[in-house]
């Protein structure tokens, strides 16, 4: 009898300080201590979670290619503990490192072949983590970004929108100083998303975030470390005409990256690249993996 | 199978090889394969791409630009606007053939031929789609990457300045070696076979320097464009393609591929082949 998908998925828990983080580990049937397999940590986007479209569909694609996957919920997201919506970039980097620590303890996983795959916010975190942790052997970023401030300028392009956005950051700082509490702000005031794309967000994802989240994104710069990934392979995927995260973000990361780095901008996908089940995306990822990080 | 054909461009007879696809019924969609700087229709990249497209179901025409290969025209004079005229002449010739579906003719060019393909499609609205491998938009920026050290830039600028003063004085333009205009690393020179042009009029340098396809690529709007470039290209910097991408309208794909070099269409690389095949399937399908 064929083993059902259920039996190959295992719920796991990571400890981040006092917080418990939830994850789902998938091991291919062939993985064993004798024949350990390559594995990917799969990261969700801004305020999303491990079971949202991009993470789940992206992980499934990797599983079909023969990799183990570990999808985790970041602190404050999905089934993980933590103040709801308190999403801080550098904390996510630490959590990815915990996930790598965990994979290193699993005998079925080859700890010399650990990759990262992330979408959007998760793409930025993937690139940053790989640039600062040499255990990462390969990286796939879809719709990621390398310079938070420049990204926000692209997302709030008019003088009025920019003034409103930076005013929100100022108010957040003041509110925190005066009350000790975070100012909660609506998701689309941080990252505007066109109406027609909102279905691509993780169902049940956060609609409000503390202003510190926006500040942490503003200050986050994968651009500064992307050059340290080479000679480990990096695949930068992006919509050619992304209506959420400006396409230039991946072009600029490419300019700062060493080789081998591939930059693939596709005109028939939008921001939620993996969730769209585009056959070209699948072929490109499959061929890239075959060339640089075969299962 | 390919047959020899010829057609006229500005009164010059250009030489080509036309082939029908391995499958499908006429009228066929077609792809015109265009060579790079001072190359010819039978160079390694053209020998790979023409049968590659025919196997998928496209008719092909590969031809020699004026002054190159077996075509007429002054040797060593390679000028963007003249090659663009040749590309448009090739398009009109092929679109006029009985076996070809005139509404479905695309251009595929490498290096200089990529830049020419983009410009020709920008000027000729009948071109249905473009594949541009290793091209650029802005001539001056392309040359600045090629002559990156101060010494090299100084030397190159002096050549151009001398050429411009010859032009001013109505003198015969001097000839310069190919690698003084477009240097190619030693290890890649096997891609430029002996039938290529090695000595060029300085007019080639001047006209190429002054040419900027970024100004016109937006005219391709609505017609699909695939820009492919080697990630570590050490002939034409990949900036050439991402700046063209930035100036282009959608649908445009930019695919910058690692592990292959400037002459990638001659490398029979599986990843490159799949990317092109999938893009064609999406934007310029046979059926």
| pLDDT tens by residue, A86-117 | 999 999 999 999 999 999 999 999 999 999 99
HSE of A94, CA atoms in CB hemisphere, 13 A: 11
pLDDT higher than 90, residue A229: yes
pLDDT for B125 equals 98
pLDDT for A1 equals 34
| pLDDT-based confidence at residue A202 (cuts at 50, 70, 90) | confident
Q: Do A259 and B282 touch (CB under 8 A)?
A: no
Closest listed residue to residue B249, CA positions, set B229, B224, B228? B224
First to last CA, chain B: 21
**8 Å CB contact between A112 and A137:** yes
| pTM greater than 0.90 (yes/no) | yes
pLDDT higher than 80, residue A124: yes
Beta strands per DSSP E along chain B? 2-9, 12-19, 28-34, 59-63, 100-110, 129-133, 175-177, 199-201, 225-230, 252-257
Nearest CA in chain A to B256: A263
From residue B8, alpha-carbon distances to A236, B12, B13 in Å are 44, 5, 5
Cα angle, residue A213 at apex, residues A208 and A214 outer, rounded to 5°:
95
pLDDT higher than 50, residue A215: yes
Find the CB nearest B254 among A263, A268, A284: A263
B→A interface, C-beta within 8 Å: 224, 231-232, 239, 242, 245-246, 250-259, 270-271, 274-275, 278-279, 282-283
pLDDT for A203 equals 79
DSSP state of B195: T
pLDDT for A272 equals 86
Test mutation, B231, B237, B250, B273, chain A, max A CBs within 10 A: B231
Q: Do B258 and A267 touch (CB under 8 A)?
A: no
The owner of tokens 């039996």 is A7
State how far residue B181 is from chain A, nearest Cα, in angstroms.
25
Closest listed residue to residue B225, CA positions, set A241, A125, A281? A241
pLDDT higher than 70, residue A7: no
Q: Containing H/E element for B139?
A: helix B139-146
- From chain A, the residues in CB contact with B245 under 8 A are 240, 251, 265
- From chain B, the residues in CB contact with A238 under 8 A are none
Q: CB under 8 Å to A174, separation ≥6 — which residues?
A: none
Neighbours of B188 (CB within 10 A): 13
A84-119 b/e (C-beta count within 10 Å ≥ 16 → b) = ebbbbbebbbebbbbbbebbeebebbbbebbbbbbb
Length of chain B: 287
pLDDT for B172 equals 95
Find the CB nearest B256 among A241, A263, A266: A263
**8 Å CB contact between B45 and B117:** no
Structural domains of chain A, with CATH: 8-292 (3.40.50.1820)
For chain B, 287 residues long, give each residue's pLDDT as a single digit of tens. Answer: 899 999 999 999 999 999 999 899 999 999 999 999 999 999 999 999 999 999 999 999 999 999 999 999 999 999 999 999 999 999 999 999 999 999 999 999 999 999 999 999 999 999 999 999 999 999 999 999 999 999 999 999 999 999 999 999 999 999 999 999 999 999 999 999 999 999 999 999 999 999 999 999 999 999 999 999 999 999 999 999 999 999 999 999 999 999 999 999 999 999 999 999 999 999 999 98
Q: Do B271 and A280 touch (CB under 8 A)?
A: no
Structural domains of chain B, with CATH: 2-283 (3.40.50.1820)
HSE of A48, CA atoms in CB hemisphere, 13 A: 28
pLDDT for A3 equals 44
Nearest CA in chain B to A247: B246
Percent of chain A with pLDDT over 90: 86
Test mutation, B260, B273, B278, B284, chain A, max A CBs within 10 A: B278
Q: CB under 8 Å to A294, separation ≥6 — which residues?
A: A38
Q: CB under 8 Å to A166, separation ≥6 — which residues?
A: none
State how far residue B113 is from chain A, nearest Cα, in angstroms.
22
pLDDT higher than 50, residue A2: no
| pLDDT tens by residue, A243-275 | 999 999 999 999 999 999 999 999 999 988 888
| pLDDT-based confidence at residue A50 (cuts at 50, 70, 90) | very high
Helices (H), chain A: 5-8, 53-64, 89-105, 121-132, 148-155, 159-179, 187-190, 211-219, 248-256, 279-292
- Give the distance from CA B266 to its chain's centroid: 14
Average pLDDT, chain A: 94
**8 Å CB contact between A171 and A178:** no
| pLDDT tens by residue, A182-196 | 999 999 999 999 888
HSE of B65, CA atoms in CB hemisphere, 13 A: 32
| pLDDT-based confidence at residue A231 (cuts at 50, 70, 90) | very high
Q: Do A291 and B271 touch (CB under 8 A)?
A: yes
**8 Å CB contact between A173 and A214:** no
Q: CB under 8 Å to A273, separation ≥6 — which residues?
A: A54, A119, A142, A143, A237, A238, A239, A266, A281
pLDDT for A157 equals 95
Nearest CA in chain B to A290: B271
Q: Do B255 and A263 touch (CB under 8 A)?
A: yes
Q: Write the ipTM.
A: 0.94
- Give the distance from CA B242 to its chain's centroid: 16
């Amino acid at each position: 009898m064929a083993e059902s998908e259920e039996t190959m998925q295992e719920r796991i828990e990571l400890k981040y300080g006092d917080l418990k983080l939830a994850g789902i580990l998938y091991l291919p049937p062939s993985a064993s201590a004798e024949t350990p397999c390559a594995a990917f940590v799969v990261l969700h986007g801004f305020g999303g979670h491990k079971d949202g479209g991009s993470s789940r569909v992206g992980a499934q694609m990797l599983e079909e290619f023969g990799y183990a996957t570990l999808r985790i919920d970041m602190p404050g997201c999905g089934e993980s503990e933590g103040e709801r919506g308190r999403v801080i970039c550098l904390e996510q980097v630490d959590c990815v490192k915990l996930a790598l620590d965990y994979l290193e303890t699993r005998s079925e996983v080859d700890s010399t072949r650990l990759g990262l795959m992330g979408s959007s916010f998760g793409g930025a975190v993937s690139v940053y983590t790989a640039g600062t942790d040499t255990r990462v052997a390969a990286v796939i970023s879809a719709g990621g970004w390398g310079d938070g401030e420049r990204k926000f300028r692209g997302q709030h392009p008019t003088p009025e929108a920019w003034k409103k956005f930076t005013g929100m950051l100022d108010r957040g700082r003041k509110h925190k100083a005066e009350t000790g509490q975070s100012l909660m702000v609506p998701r689309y005031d941080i990252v505007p998303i066109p109406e027609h794309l909102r279905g691509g967000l993780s169902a049940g994802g956060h609609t409000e975030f503390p202003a510190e989240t926006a500040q942490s994104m503003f200050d986050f710069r994968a651009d500064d470390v992307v050059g340290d990934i080479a000679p480990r392979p990096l695949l930068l995927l992006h919509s050619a005409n992304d209506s959420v995260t400006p396409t230039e973000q991946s072009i600029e990361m490419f300019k700062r990256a060493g080789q081998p780095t591939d930059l693939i901008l596709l005109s028939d996908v939008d921001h939620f690249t993996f969730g769209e089940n585009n056959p070209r995306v699948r072929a490109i990822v499959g061929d890239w993996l075959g060339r640089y990080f075969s299962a | 199978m390919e047959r020899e054909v010829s057609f006229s461009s500005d009164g010059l007879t250009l030489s080509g090889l036309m082939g029908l696809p391995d499958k499908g019924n006429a009228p066929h969609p077609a792809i015109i394969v265009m060579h790079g700087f001072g190359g010819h229709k039978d160079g390694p990249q053209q020998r790979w791409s023409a049968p590659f497209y025919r196997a998928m179901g496209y008719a092909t025409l590969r031809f020699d630009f004026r002054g190159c290969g077996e075509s007429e025209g002054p040797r060593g004079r390679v000028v963007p606007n003249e090659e663009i005229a040749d590309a448009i002449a090739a398009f009109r010739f092929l679109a006029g053939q009985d076996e070809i579906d005139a509404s479905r003719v695309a251009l595929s060019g490498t290096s200089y031929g990529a830049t020419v393909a983009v410009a020709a499609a920008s000027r000729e609205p009948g071109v249905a789609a473009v594949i541009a491998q290793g091209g650029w938009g802005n001539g001056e920026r392309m040359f600045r990457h090629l002559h990156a050290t101060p010494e090299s830039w100084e030397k190159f600028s002096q050549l151009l300045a001398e050429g411009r003063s010859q032009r001013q004085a109505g003198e015969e333009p001097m000839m310069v070696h190919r690698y003084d205009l477009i240097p190619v690393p030693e290890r890649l020179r096997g891609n430029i076979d002996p039938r290529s042009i090695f000595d060029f009029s300085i007019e080639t340098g001047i006209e190429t320097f002054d040419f900027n396809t970024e100004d016109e690529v937006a005219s391709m709007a609505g017609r699909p464009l695939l820009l492919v470039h080697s990630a570590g290209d050490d002939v034409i910097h990949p900036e050439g393609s991402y700046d063209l991408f930035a100036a282009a309208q959608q649908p445009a794909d930019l695919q910058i591929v690692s592990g292959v070099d400037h002459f990638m269409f001659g490398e029979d690389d599986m990843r490159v082949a799949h990317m092109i095949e999938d893009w064609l399937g999406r934007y310029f399908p046979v059926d």
